[in-house]
Amino acid sequence: MSSSRSPSPSPSPSQPSLLVFSGGTAFNGVVEELKKLTSRVAHVLPVSDDGGSTAEIVRVLGGPAVGDIRSRCLRLSDQSTSEALAVRRLLGHRLPLDPKQAKSEWYAIVEEEHSLWNDVSRPYRETIRAFLVYFQNEILRRPNESFCFSNGSIGNFFFAGARIFFQSLDAAIFLFSRVSDIPSESLVLPVISTNDRLTLGCELWDGTIIRGQNEISHPTNGTVELINKKSSSMPALPSRIKRVFYMSREGTHSLHEVFPAANPAVLDQLKTVDCIVYAMGSLFTSICPSLVLLGIGEIISSRTCPKVLLLNSSHDRETSGFSASCFVTAITDALNRTHGDNNNCLKNPVSALHDISPSIP
């Protein structure tokens, strides 16, 4: 695919390499500043989000959730030219909340009749539109399912179309990265490389099992609405979260726990990076889903590199009343899989998984 954009400059060999465990929202505000320090960052993201427009894609077309990955890719995308900004605007666009208006605008975009295509050159236009059309065709092939475009993300639709076409999440990320001109040394990695739907569950200390990431963090009673993830207005859970785990698609309790394999690319990066970062974000639904996988805790405990925890500036539904030490304990328990299957538990001390300051309360 030809382009008038100039290639991204090569990173300096002196730039440190980082691996960041995060979700798709909170750490986005740090990404721009982090670029000034280093572009050698592996962003590890969960693929279990079942809220927002992602939920509708997963409901109708199946597959893993791509919203967090799309969000990070957009933050890393090139902004140096008018075309780069136009591509970013297009893939970052959300349709109106009103279903009829959303559907009408979607058709205008697919038919190239929308102003969002302005300043997008023919090669990029044809590439992006091809996968949007493919996404639309996949919806039409399911006449028994009525797809709701309300608040839909064009980037999510592009991602879903590419994933289904290639039958590969990694290939879809590669395509999105090239279209949005992300530096080649900046990696966006799903913590689980899969083409299947994943369901997150959690067990509370009172024994309650909650199924679905959205039900844990931002329950919406099945309605399509905008969610302010920075808001702490959600009522606290009836009991603190003991652990998170992955469930079978129709599972309802801990007996339906499944153990998906961690992405080998994530494990490889963990073995070589100069620093590991547990970023701010939803602790149990954005960070811990990556940490509980087999192999993650084993490699992190074996590394002597800095391991940094970035604390949230406020509490949310998942962490009501938490102190800094509660965050450290939760991450340590997740990496050690302390409260899961006894056969998979580790006994690593806190010092093997964090760089702890004695002043933490």
pLDDT at 222 over 60: no
Which pLDDT score is estimated for 217?
A: 87
Which pLDDT score is estimated for 244?
A: 95
pLDDT bucket at 221, cuts 50 / 70 / 90: low
The share of the chain scoring above pLDDT 70, in percent, equals 89
pLDDT at 359 over 50: no
How many CA atoms lie within 13 Å of 44's alpha carbon, on the beta-carbon side?
Answer: 27
Closest alpha carbon to 324 in 316, 332, 312:
312
Task: Give the pLDDT mean for 283-297.
Answer: 95
Q: Which residue has the higher pLDDT, 249 or 352?
A: 352
Closest alpha carbon to 106 in 55, 150, 46, 162:
150
Which pLDDT score is estimated for 352?
A: 84
Closest alpha carbon to 320 in 252, 233, 259:
233
Which pLDDT score is estimated for 24?
A: 86
pLDDT at 35 over 70: yes
**126 with 118: CB under 8 angstroms?**
no
Mean model confidence pLDDT for the chain:
89
Which pLDDT score is estimated for 341?
A: 86
Three-state DSSP string of the chain:
CCCCCCCCCCCCCCCCCEEEECCCCCCHHHHHHHHHHCCCEEEEECCCCCCHHHHHHHHHHCCCCCHHHHHHHHHHCCCCCHHHHHHHHHHCCECCCCHHHHHHHHHHHHCCCCHHHCCCCHHHHHHHHHHHHHHHHHHHCCCCCCCCCCCCEHHHHHHHHHHHHHCCHHHHHHHHHHHCCCCCCCEEEECCCCCCCCEEEEEECCCCEEECHHHHHCCCCCCCCCCCCCCCCCCCCCCCEEEEEEECCCCCCHHHEECCCCCHHHHHHHCCCCEEEECCCCHHHHHHHHHCCCCHHHHHHHCCCCEEECCCCCCCCCCCCCCHHHHHHHHHHHHHCCCCCHHHCCCCCHHHCCCCCCCCC
Whole-angstrom distance, CA of residue 22 vs CA of residue 43: 7
Which pLDDT score is estimated for 360?
A: 40
Whole-angstrom distance, CA of residue 318 vs CA of residue 219: 12
Kindly list the domain boundaries of the chain, sorted by start residue.
14-55+190-348, 78-181
Q: Which residue has the higher pLDDT, 332 or 315?
A: 332
Q: Tell me the pTM.
A: 0.90
229, two tokens: 């993830």
In Å, what is the CA distance from 356 to each residue of 241, 251, 284, 310, 350? 23, 37, 20, 12, 8
**98 with 72: CB under 8 angstroms?**
no
User: pLDDT tens digit string along 159-177?
Assistant: 999 999 999 999 999 999 9
Lowest-confidence region among 87-96, 219-228, 246-255, 322-331? 219-228
Which pLDDT score is estimated for 361?
A: 40
Homologous superfamily of 14-55+190-348: CofD-like domains (3.40.50.10680)
pLDDT at 357 over 50: no
How many CA atoms lie within 13 Å of 276's alpha carbon, on the beta-carbon side?
Answer: 25
